[in-house]
Amino acid sequence: MAEEYINFSQKNDTGIIKLNRPKALNALNYDMAEIFLKKLNEWDLENSIKRVLVYGEGNAFCAGGDVKNLFLSSNKNNLKEIFFQKEYTLNNAINEFKKDYLSIWNGIVMGGGVGLSMYGKYRVATQNTKFAMPESAIGFFPDVGASYFLSKLNRGVGLFLSLTGFAINARDVMDLGLATHYSDADKIEEIKKNYIQTGNIENTSKYPELDSIIDKNKNFIEDIFQNNLINIFYQLKNSKDEFGKKIYSHLLTRCPMSLAISIELLNNAKSKSLKECLEMEYQLCQHMVYRNDFDNGVDAVLVSKTHKPKWSPSSIENINFDEVDKMFEPHVEKLYL
């Protein structure tokens, strides 16, 4: 089944990976991650492969890990453990891959899809790019090494993206250095062909002519998203700015524990390497996926789709921050990346 969802081929000296699960927005499941990792390790040692190209079929690069399947597996098997082991090991393998690695972001790139692309050498955005780390909506946190790159973004921006899960566009990902190149979507096949044949990506002087929610609200984001969770909420609640009011209402729908965890995670990540961040996130995820918030969140957003999860605690005022600290204590075997 995994072979149907992820296809491998070779043209010239380019290894090509197509995520081929368009009905699920190319969501990554355990079997896909396993054969992706195996093939990448083979290609790293294969002299006939000089570079790798990764893209998604349909309207998404990859919308994330298959958390719906994790929810459905609850109390049935150890998928919640082995999936993240495999996924984070794959993220690290991409980072350590010695050859050029190009991802095409022509559509949705979220969560686990970010982990399949962010650590390669090149990332091409198009006008269709929608980039987000939306995990606070499902009782989880930005993982796949997101703590590493979000903690290093411009003042406040990483925390803003982490807490809100807002989707940003091609202009934003270019401005923030998350993408390395931009192209109109109708030129993507040409870019693929050129990369496969020559290993080059055309440097285009074209810049995405799109409105930027980040740039438009840059000063506000920098001012607000600096402090602890209670302080952020206080400032947003009392803000007279329309954007601030919108963000406040939005954050009231997110998982309170996820918000608190995300702030602590990014603070802890600032001086860490990607490997250290993945190790930290693995310990953390093995707490979070067994909380009721995770099952409630995934069910409300992806399964029953009521979009009315019942969080515990139900508000940030009821968060026990000692419990937040305990979430970061190592308690399962390390990944040993």
Residues designated as active site:
65, 112, 135, 143
| Contact residues for 161 (Cβ-Cβ < 8 A; gap 6+) | 132, 133, 142, 150, 153, 168
Burial per residue of 138-157, b for 16 or more beta-carbon CB atoms within 10 angstroms, e otherwise: bbbbbbbbbbbbbbebeebb
Which of these, 100, 10, 5, lies nearest to 62 by C-alpha position? 5
Q: How far apart (Å, rounded) are the C-alpha atoms in residues 52 and 68? A: 29
* 3-state secondary structure (DSSP) of residue 191: helix
- Kind of pairing, strands 60-62 and 108-110? parallel
| Contact residues for 135 (Cβ-Cβ < 8 A; gap 6+) | 111, 141, 142, 143, 165, 258
**Residues 36 and 64 sit within 8 Å (Cβ to Cβ):** no
Angle formed by the axes of helices 30-45 and 79-96, to 10°? 30
| Contact residues for 310 (Cβ-Cβ < 8 A; gap 6+) | 296
| Contact residues for 259 (Cβ-Cβ < 8 A; gap 6+) | 136, 163, 229, 251, 316
Dihedral over Cα of 171, 172, 175, 178: its sign = negative
Q: How far apart (Å, rounded) are the C-alpha atoms in residues 187 and 124? A: 11
